[in-house]
């Protein structure tokens, strides 16, 4: 199997924090990802207005990388994060 094929079948974990307000979205993200291995991809859903800033700070502290952000319905943002 080539590297490209393994990426296509890589599992993406979902952490849904829609409806939660600061600091709960980031706390949920940390709790749900703490035992996942480095390199794991996580989709994080949040609609808290301060969530983007909080997530950026968390990633700076931990070394996680935000790969992309997409706007979903009703103000929900989907962040694709690769864990450090």
Enumerate the active-site residues: 22
Secondary structure class of 84 (helix, strand, coil): coil
Phi, psi angles (nearest 5°) of residue 68: -165, 165
End-to-end CA gap in the chain: 24
């Amino acid at each position: 199997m080539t590297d490209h094929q393994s990426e296509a079948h890589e599992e993406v974990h979902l952490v849904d924090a829609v409806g939660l307000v600061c600091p709960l979205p980031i706390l949920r993200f940390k709790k749900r990802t703490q035992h996942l291995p480095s390199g794991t991809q996580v989709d994080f859903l949040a609609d808290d207005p301060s969530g983007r800033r909080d997530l950026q700070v968390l990633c700076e502290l931990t070394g996680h990388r935000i790969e992309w952000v997409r706007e979903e319905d009703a103000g929900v943002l989907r962040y694709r994060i690769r864990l450090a």
